[in-house]
Amino acid sequence: MVVVEGVYYDVEPSWSVKKGFGFNTIVYVMDGKVVYTINNKRLTVEKGEFLYIPSQVERSWMNHPEGPHKKYTVIFSWENDFTEIPPFFNKEAIFKFKPRNTSYYEQRLAFLNIQWLGKRNLYEELSCNITFELILLISQERLEWHTSPVKERTARKIQEYILNNYRRTITIEELAEVGDITPNYVTVLFKEVIGITPIQYIHQTRVNAALNLLTTTEMTVREVAEYLGYSDQAHFSRIFKKWMGTAPTNIKTQ
């Protein structure tokens, strides 16, 4: 298992970090781009991408010339007696990876950040479990990556459309038109590439937005539900709890 040493959420940081060594590091860029220098090589990490840096590797980062960014950073170490490190996360591995279901990863990182900052009972155990879950999911997805370029482009086009319109009702027929495929094939293709159905992805995206609104604004649970297209607050609460493991009222009161 892992031992989490820190969880950070940088929102448009104005500082940079000079070269140095550190813990094993997972970076996920929420918005914008960030430039890393790793072993004297420049690497740009963009929105929706992960970067993994092992502990013994020299690294530094700075804002991209195009502007600031938002990112999650999780630093961790492996337990001393832990020998079965998941694929791609060995001591020499440095890799950048763009997952299929970005909304789920963003939800888990947001929840991880809340646990780490809130320091409630068992937060350390939860933080370690969530981090290890993310590591396993990344390893699994990289091992299974076999989607054709055509399917990938079509699914990403549908995904982008959902991300731009998730607050309103979206039909399967509408998504079929976006992807220029039949309605019967929309769910099959989207699930093959992204890992979940379009309807599940819509709910995940809404829940991710809800978590952000509940923790960063004064909006009530009812206001957030209505803003995200749920006419029934009880239905919204059920969906939120299904994906986050806790009710939205619990997030609001933290």
Q: What does pTM read for this prediction?
A: 0.73
Q: Which helix (H) or strand (E) holds 60?
A: strand 59-63
pLDDT band at 220 (very low <50, low <70, confident <90, very high): very high
pLDDT digits (tens, 9 = 90+) for 126-149: 999 999 999 999 998 888 776 678
pLDDT digits (tens, 9 = 90+) for 38-93: 888 899 999 999 999 999 888 999 999 998 899 999 999 998 766 678 888 887 78
Other CB atoms within 10 A of residue 112 CB: 24
Mean pLDDT of 211-217: 86
Mean pLDDT of 100-128: 90
Domain extents in the chain: 2-102, 149-252
Count of residues making up the chain: 254
Q: Which two tokens stand for residue 148?
A: 């054709």
Decide if domain 2-102 falls under CATH 2.60.120.10: yes
Closest CA to 225 of 72, 37, 235, 246: 235
- What lies within 8 Å, CB to CB, of 80 at 6+ separation is none
Domain 149-252: CATH superfamily is Homeodomain-like (1.10.10.60)
| Predicted pLDDT at 146 | 65
